[in-house]
Amino acid sequence: MKLNLIEEKVQTELEIILIKDKEITENKDILEKIDFKGEEDSSALLAELGKLYVGCGEPTSDNIRVAVASAMRTFGKTNFNDASIEADENLREVVEGIELGSYEFTKYKSKKDDKIEKTINIVVKKVDEKTIEIFEDAVNLSNSVNMVRDFVNTTPEDFYPKIMAKKAKKIAIENDLEIKIFGEKYFKEQKMGAMSAVGRASRHDSRLIHMAYKPVDAIKKVVLVGKGLTYDSGGLSLKPADFMVTMKSDKSGGSAVLGIINAVAKMKLPIEIHAIVGAVENMIGGDAYKPDDVLTAKNGKTIEVRNTDAEGRLVLADCLCYAQDEIEDFDYMIDYATLTGACVVGVGHYTTGIMGNNLELNNQLQQSAIASGELATVLHFNKYLKKTLKSKIADICNISNTRYGGAITAGMFLDEFIEEENKQKWVHCDIAGPAFVEEVWGCNPEGASGAGVRFTIEFLKNLMEK
Ligand code: BES
Ligand code: ZN
Ligand code: ZN
């Protein structure tokens, strides 16, 4: 999609008109005949007139974004080559709706559409410095989300730890970021026994990726840590067939972290960002780690493995230790992971579960999510659930002894690897639900959504205002 930002309306084949609060002002008769009332989630294409009406209900930020995204899906299916839309006060939402709504993943289709690239003219009152900045920020953010979607949608045969590191390198070169990539030898030296065990049975060696964006005018320092399971078969505690499908999406946390640092660098935000990704494939084989093993994490804590499918927390444990050992004086540390099915059961597949010891910080992230058009809710730790992680033979067990509250117990497992001085700086985001949904929803396509990127950018932007 080609986007033009203009002041004067130009003639285009199609005009997209958002109907706010069901207020239809033109072509009333014909729209009435086809029973179009301008309600939320409804649209009417009057092809002969070159008009596409889209209902958005109450014109909230998110409703506008979603309505524009749905207009893009309709526009995409037609043979109209160009369209126009008015943006005024909602330029950001309109641009995001266009870019996020027109995303398609066609890598594996043998017959690609040979349609020419379509153009959208966005009409605003004035094309000044401010509007250009809003426009460019929205484009950079949306492109980063779409990049994450591409990563996550790519199959495990084409996207394994080494490829994830290669993608990170490309982002680093493009944005002039620092990057370090570590392999098995480093894990051994650093005694990262948890992460190392998870990847052992895979034919693809694991990677720990550490990228840094260090602007000279940085006002805050934020560490992002992502679960990058390029495939999660469950390991020897093998997943049932139906549950294994879509597990290419278990790299969504790590991919989000790559998308966030890319967006921050492109938007030139004055915040130092460290992006850490544990890229690992969880497989079966003679060399696989086993239920009954006891692993030692980087901080010396021992972990009794009772289920090899609770692998994400093992990878994150070592990555969180790495971050705290290697990065000094950070203000916040946020991790992203498709960590538990329990989180999806608990809050539904559209919502991120936010956890941590700092309630105010948790709430801030939740607010950022709502403002950005993502959904998130806070889940609270408690001392009773914490006890369910006790092990008889090691310091802690990798699964809880109860089948209830699985998202929270996973979060509290991670908490064991957060040093006392960082307890209030850390937040855990379980994106197992929204990261990958097999249906179109909001401005998300079927498949990967890029969850986490938009709400984190919102959170970071808010830090600048404090
Ligand atoms: N990657 C899965 C969690 C998941 C489930 C993500 C569904 C997305 C959709 C994770 O590694 C896992 O398998 N967790 C187990 C933990 C259990 C063994 C304690 C789970 O949720 O069943
Ligand atoms: Zn698993
Ligand atoms: Zn997993």
Residue 150 located in a structural domain: no
The response to whether residue 235 sits with its C-beta less than 6 Å from ligand 1 reads no
Residue 146 located in a structural domain: no
Interatomic CA distance for residues 66 and 278, integer angstroms: 33
Q: What is the dihedral of CA 197, 202, 205, 211, to 10 degrees?
A: -80
Model pLDDT for residues 122-153, shown as the tens digit of each residue: 999 999 999 999 999 999 999 999 999 999 99
Same domain, 115 and 228: no
Question: Looking at residue 234, what is its pLDDT?
Answer: 98
What's this model's pTM, rounded to 2 decimal places? Answer: 0.98
The response to whether residue 340 sits with its C-beta less than 6 Å from ligand 1 reads yes
The response to whether residue 430 sits with its C-beta less than 6 Å from ligand 1 reads no
Residue 246 is classified by DSSP as T
Residue 416 located in a structural domain: yes
The response to whether residue 399 sits with its C-beta less than 6 Å from ligand 1 reads yes
Per the annotation, the verdict on 313 as an active-site residue is yes
Question: Looking at residue 88, what is its pLDDT?
Answer: 82
The response to whether residue 224 sits with its C-beta less than 6 Å from ligand 1 reads no
| Residue-averaged pLDDT of the chain | 97
How many domains would you assign to the chain? 2
Same domain, 103 and 160: no
What is the SS3 string spanning 395-424?
CEECCCCCCCCHHHHHHHHHHCCCCHHHHH
Residue 332 located in a structural domain: yes
Model pLDDT for residues 220-241, shown as the tens digit of each residue: 999 999 999 999 999 999 999 9
Q: How far is CA 100 from the centre of its chain?
A: 13
Q: Name the closest-CA residue to atom 7, ligand 1.
A: 341
Same domain, 409 and 307: yes
For strands 332-337 and 294-296, give the pairing: unpaired
Residue 36 located in a structural domain: yes
For strands 396-397 and 302-304, give the pairing: parallel
Same domain, 211 and 287: yes
The CATH number linked to 7 is 3.40.220.10
Per the annotation, the verdict on 239 as an active-site residue is yes
Q: 289-306 burial string, b = 16+ CB within 10 Å, else e?
A: bebebebbbbbebebbbb
Q: How far apart are the first and last CA of the chain?
A: 36
- Sign of the alpha-carbon dihedral angle for 414, 415, 418, 424: positive
Question: Looking at residue 223, what is its pLDDT?
Answer: 99
Cα(419) to ligand 1 centroid in Å equals: 25
Which ligand 1 atom minimizes the distance to the CA of 312?
A: 11
Lowest mean pLDDT among 6-10, 294-298, 413-417: 6-10
Cα(183) to ligand 1 centroid in Å equals: 25
The answer to whether residues 383 and 466 touch, using CB atoms and an 8 Å cutoff, is: no
115 phi and psi, to 5 degrees? -60, 145
Which ligand 1 atom minimizes the distance to the CA of 237?
A: 18
Same domain, 252 and 401: yes
Question: Looking at residue 367, what is its pLDDT?
Answer: 98
pLDDT at 283 over 90: yes
Q: Which element (helix H / strand E) includes 121? A: strand 119-123
- Which residue segment(s) compose the domain that 90 sits in? 2-127
Residue 405 located in a structural domain: yes
Q: Which of 248, 313, 454, 461 is catalytic?
A: 313
Same domain, 118 and 43: yes
Residue 42 located in a structural domain: yes
Q: Name the closest-CA residue to atom 3, ligand 1.
A: 340
Interatomic CA distance for residues 313 and 414, integer angstroms: 6
